[in-house]
Amino acid sequence: MLHAVLTGIPLTLGVTAAALIIGTLVSLPLLACTLSGNRLLWLGARMVIDLLRGVPIVVWLFIFYYGVTLGSAKLSAFGAAVLGLGLVSGAYLAEIFRGAVSSVSAGQFEAGRALGMTSRGLWADIIAPQAWRVALPGYTTYGIGLLKDSSIASTIGVAEMVFQAGNFARTTGNGIVVFLLAAAVYILVSVPVGILSRRVDERMSAVVAR
Amino acid sequence: MVRVRDLSKAFGGNPVLEGVDLTVLEGTVTALIGPSGAGKSTLLRCMNLLERPDAGEIEIGSHRIDARSRFSKRQLYALRRETGMVFQHFNLFPHMSVMRNVVLPQQRILGRSKAEAEHRAQELLARMGLADKGGQYPNKCSGGQQQRIAIARALALEPRVMLFDEPTSALDPEVGAEVLEVMKELAAEGMTMIVVTHEMGFARNVCEDLVVMADGGIIEQGDPQRIMGDPSHPRTRSFLHAVLQR
Ligand SMILES: Nc1ncnc2c1ncn2[C@@H]1O[C@H](COP(=O)(O)OP(=O)(O)OP(=O)(O)O)[C@@H](O)[C@H]1O
Ligand SMILES: [Mg+2]
C-alpha cells in the first residue's frame, strides 16, 4: 500500500515542478504584453489569460491529450498534463505578477528614469526585485495549489499518486487508508513550503517595509 | 545653460503648459513658484523628458531636443544625464541599502567601478551628514535623511543641473530646514538648480531668480526680493499673499 503511494510521488512532484516552470515562463510574455501600453498586445494577452482561466483544467487536459499530436504521435499523458497545467498556470501567474508590479509605486519608475536608467535596467534592478517580493506569497500559494491540482493528471492516466492510490483501492478493495496516506503526503509537502515562504516573506518585509 | 523655448504640453486635450520660455544661467538657482495646478511639476518633468512635451525645445549644456522632431533613445539618455531630479517623496529604492542606492546608478549609468562608485557615494553621504548611514535601509532613515540621500544619489551622477520638485513639502519644518541647508550649500558651490518650492525664505535668500507660474505660463520673472516686495502681476500678489499667510 505504501509502495503504491510512494511510486506515485515522483510523477506528482514532476508534473507540479514542470508545470510551474512552464507556467512561469509563459506568464512573463503575457505580463509584458499586459504592461506594454500597446492596446493590441494588451487585448491579445487579456484574451489568452481569460480563455485559459475560463475552462476547467480537466477539460484542458483532455483537449491536449486527445487534440495535440506531434507529427504522427499523440502527446503523452505526462506531456499533455504538463502542457495543460503549465499554460493555465501561466495565466494565473501573469495575474499574480501584474498585481505585484502595480503595487510598486510610480515614484520608483520615475526615479529610475530620472536617473537615466534604460528600461531594461529599470526593470532588472528596481521593479522586478520589488515586485518579486510582493509576488512571492501568492506565487507559493499558487504552487501549493498546483501540487494539489496535479492530481487532475490522473484523469488522463498519468500514474501519479492519486492514480496509483485509485488503482490500489480498486484492485484490493481497500481505499480509505491508501487515500489517507496520499493526503498525508500532500500535507507533508505543502505545509513546510508554506512555512518556508512565510519565513522568507517576513525576513524580506522586515527590511523593506515602507 | 538650461534653456526651454516655447514649450507646450497638454494632457488629454487639456493644455497644461502653453509656450513656456525659460533660461537658467550656469551656476544660478531659480525658484519656481505658483498655485497648485500651475504646471510647475510638469515643466520640471518636461526638462528631463519624464513627460514628453508636445512642442518646444529643451537645451541643456550641449544637448538639445526639439519635441516636434524625432529624437533617439541615445539623445534622450544624453539629456537626462545632464539633469538630476529630487522628488517630494524621495523615491529611494527600498530594497537596497542607502549605499547601494547611491552606488548602483553610478555603475549603471556612468559605468563606474564598484570601488570608484562607493568612494564617491561615501564622499557625498558624508557631505550630507550621513556618513554612517550607508549600511542602513532607507525605511530606517527619517524623511529628512531620506531626502538628503536622494540628493546624494542624484549628485553622484554629476549632473549639470539639479531639478527639485517640492523637496521639503513632505517634511516637518525643522527637518525640511536640514534639507534646505544642504541645498543652500550646493548653491554656494555653484550648482545650477531649479527648485519648485513654497519656501519663500529659501526663494528670497538663496535664489537669484524667481519664476512665478499660473495657468500653464510664466506670469512674472526676476529678482526674488523685488518680486516679493513689489509683485507686478495681480495673480502673483494674491499667491504671495496666500502663501505668506500660512
Ligand atoms: N499625468 C497627468 N495626466 C493628466 N493630467 C495631469 C498629469 N500631470 C499633471 N496633470 C494636470 O496638469 C496640471 C498641472 O499639473 P502640475 O502637477 O504640473 O502642477 P503644479 O504646478 O506642480 O501643482 P502642485 O503645486 O499641486 O504640485 C494639473 O491640472 C494636473 O491635474
Ligand atoms: Mg507639483
**Which ligand does the CA of B213 lie closest to?**
1
Confidence of residue A201 (pLDDT cuts 50, 70, 90): confident
Same domain, B236 and B169: yes
Task: Check residue A85 and give its pLDDT.
Answer: 97
Confidence of residue A134 (pLDDT cuts 50, 70, 90): very high
Domains of chain A and any CATH numbers = 2-209 (1.10.3720.10)
Mean pLDDT to the nearest integer, B133-158: 95
- pLDDT tens for B80-120 read 999 999 999 999 999 999 999 999 999 999 999 999 999 99
The ipTM is 0.92
Q: Provide the edge-to-edge strand list for the sheet that holds B192-196.
A: B83-86, B161-165, B192-196, B29-33, B209-214, B217-222
- pLDDT tens for A23-48 read 999 999 999 999 998 999 999 999 99
Closest Cα to atom 12, ligand 1: which residue? B16
At B42, which CATH number?
3.40.50.300
Q: Fill in the DSSP letter of residue A80.
A: H
Task: Check residue A71 and give its pLDDT.
Answer: 66
Confidence of residue B246 (pLDDT cuts 50, 70, 90): low
Q: Cell numbers at residue A11, please?
A: 510523477
| A125 lies within 8 A of chain B by CB | yes
Task: Check residue B1 and give its pLDDT.
Answer: 87
Q: Are strands B161-165 and B192-196 parallel, antiparallel or unpaired?
A: parallel
Q: Is B101 exposed, middle or buried (0-12, 13-18, 19+ CB in 10 A)?
A: buried
| pLDDT of A126 higher than 50 | yes
Mean pLDDT to the nearest integer, A65-79: 80
Confidence of residue B193 (pLDDT cuts 50, 70, 90): very high
Chain B nearest-CA distance from A113, in A, is 7
**Are B187 and B155 in contact, with CB atoms under 8 Å apart?**
no
Render B40-78 in DSSP notation, one character per residue. HHHHHHHHTTSS--SEEEEEETTEEEETTS---HHHHHH
Q: Cell numbers at residue B56, please?
A: 518646444
Per-chain mean pLDDT for chain A = 92
What type of residue sits at position A171? T
User: Which chain A residues are closer than 8 Å to B89 by Cβ?
Assistant: 107
Compute CA distances A127 → A66, B128, B176, whole Å.
41, 27, 29
| A70 lies within 8 A of chain B by CB | no
User: Which chain B residues are closer than 8 Å to A117 by Cβ?
Assistant: 105, 108-109
Same domain, B195 and B151: no
Task: Check residue B208 and give its pLDDT.
Answer: 95
B38 CA → ligand 2 middle, Å: 8
Pocket of ligand 1 (CB under 6 A): B 11, 16, 34, 36-42
Number of folded domains that form chain B: 2
Same domain, B140 and B205: no
Residue numbers of the domain that contains B114: 91-158
Task: Check residue B79 and give its pLDDT.
Answer: 93
Domain final residue pick, B104, B126, B158: B158
pTM for the whole structure: 0.89
Nearest to A205 by CA among A153, A135, A119, A133: A133
User: Which chain B residues are closer than 8 Å to A133 by Cβ?
Assistant: 95
Describe the crossing of helices B114-127 and B98-105 by its angle, rounded to 10 degrees: 120
